Amino acid sequence: MNRARRLARLLNILAAIVAEPGLNPLELAERAGVSERTLRRDLTQLRELGYEVAYTSGYEVQETLNLEGRARARPPKRAYDQQLELLQAVALAVGGAGLGEAGSSVDGKGSLAARPHRRAGRGGATHTKSLPIVLIPTSGEDADFIYATGFAVETGLYLQFAKGDEVLVVSPLEIDRARAQSKVAQVIEDRDAYAHKSWARVAAKMLRERGIHEARVSPRLHAAQLEDLRAEGITAVVDRDLFLAERRHKSAAEAEAIQASQRAAEAAVVEVVRQLAAAEIKDGVLWAKGGPLTSEHLYARAQLVLGEMGFTCPEMIVAGSPECALPHFRGEGPIRARAPVIIDIFPVGRGSHYHGDLTRTVVVGEIPEEFRRMHAATLQALDAGVESIRAGVPGKDVHLAVCQVLVDRGFGTTSVGYEGPEGVAKMNHSTGHGVGLDVHEEPSLRQTSDEPLREGDVVTVEPGLYKLGLGGVRIEDTGMVTSSGFHNFTTITRSLDPKDYL
């Protein structure tokens, strides 16, 4: 690396410490766009300038940070005399501006701290938001890449230099499809990037051609691609909030795409329930066509219905009892009679890439009273959650409204203060989550969700009760948050009786 670039990196590290005191070493390395190993070397270089820079491991305080750069100065390496003098001058200017002070120390939590009298504002965040965006998809289902380009592809590159100034780079294999389907105006082909998997190198070259050496990347980006960008001299900043606000607010077209997925989910649930209702009961197990009716058969029937409608859901849940007491058990083997079957289908449109999310629970045969009670409580909790939703209401309020109903009905949860009696069926998950290009996205409806819901959020409401060795019950609707309440996209019955679905 040439001396100018090394100096720039040292200045970048110093600026990160000044702008955001209290960063731990991993956070500082990320802000500065270097590896942790490189950070160690660069902090040693800064100490040669007289900066008593701390680098800690765990909770051990090793050194102190002196941002003025005056104490115990050591002779710099001769090859860097001019550059290091400049760095010292910058540091003195920073100190003179009151951004740092001598005698500052590590904060005791394994972090690098400057402890100025006043913490720096959000200028760093503002700067980050103004940086160009580099996206390299992690797969054909990378939601950030699809949101930015309107195009799903396994490998490629998207750059947004500024609003309205963007380019999509794809392989010869995808160039025609990209031009037909992508919403990006400038689509170009790169054979070498495809052949050598060098998308990060292409991104760095295109940025440098415009004199740009910093860019934002998605938190989804593979670590290898992040390292490659940084190795090419690009300070890659992981933007954890990339497209977060934009993706939360669903447009009319996005809402319609989610509703279409929800209708597909309803059709698939009805098909599963139809198969269940037509089965015979033999020795406590459901039979169809001369053999036990299995989760695998029901999965295949649901997937067939979805496929014919242009949707898919590889990870759907069709789980019998008692295994459905594990909320994410996907189901396997024969289905038992007189016990709950949880059907959780969250299809994605093959063309739209937007999800729906729907859960119903049914029992074939005589319904035991304990399951009736669990279902009635879950249904009442669902209604309470739906009724509490409107723009401006914190997500935790919806969750706690659900928890309160379950406790009032004699059950429990794992939320603090709503545990209920010992030995009863409990809800051990959040009440809901956002739905869109990802089946699980912001916002969340859980005890720690202080942020208010916003008009245009699409969320699930999915209370459930589970007891190991017995089984579980879960009911889930999906809809949109409005200023006046919850616009439910779900129309199918919530009944425990399969006959009500036919």
CATH of domain 127-242: 3.40.350.10
Query: Are the CB atoms for 34 and 10 separated by under 8 Å?
Result: no
Q: C-alpha distances in angstroms, 349 versus 148, 150, 254, 256?
A: 17, 13, 11, 11
pTM for the full model? Answer: 0.76
CA–CA dist 496, 500 (Å, integer): 8
Q: Are 346 and 328 in contact (CB under 8 A)?
A: no
Question: Could you tell me which of 198, 193, 177, 496 has the C-alpha nearest to residue 368?
Answer: 496
- Identify the three-state secondary structure at position 485: coil
* Closest by CA position to 190, among listed 236, 155, 149, 222: 155
Tell me: pLDDT of 110 over 60. Answer: no
Over residues 243-252, the mean pLDDT reads 96
- Six-digit token string for 463: 């209370």
Residue 81: Cβ within 10 Å count? 11
Cα distance between residue 331 and residue 339, in whole Å: 14
Q: Report the alpha-carbon distance of residue 63 to residue 52 in Å, rounded.
A: 7
The CATH class given to the 248-501 domain equals alpha beta
pLDDT digits (tens, 9 = 90+) for 10-21: 777 777 776 666
CA–CA distances in Å: residue 176 to residues 140, 141, 179, 255: 17, 19, 5, 28
Quick check: 501 pLDDT over 70? Answer: yes
How high is the pLDDT of residue 8?
72
Structural domain boundaries of the chain?
Answer: 3-120, 127-242, 248-501
Q: Strand 165-170 and strand 187-189: pairing?
A: parallel
Would the pLDDT of 213 be above 50?
A: yes
3-state SS assignment for residue 90:
helix
CA gap 374, 395 in Å, rounded: 24
Cα angle at 316 between 312 and 319, to 5 degrees? Answer: 150
Residues 63-83 have a mean pLDDT of 42
Average pLDDT of the chain? 86
- d(CA 114, CA 107) in angstroms, rounded, equals 9
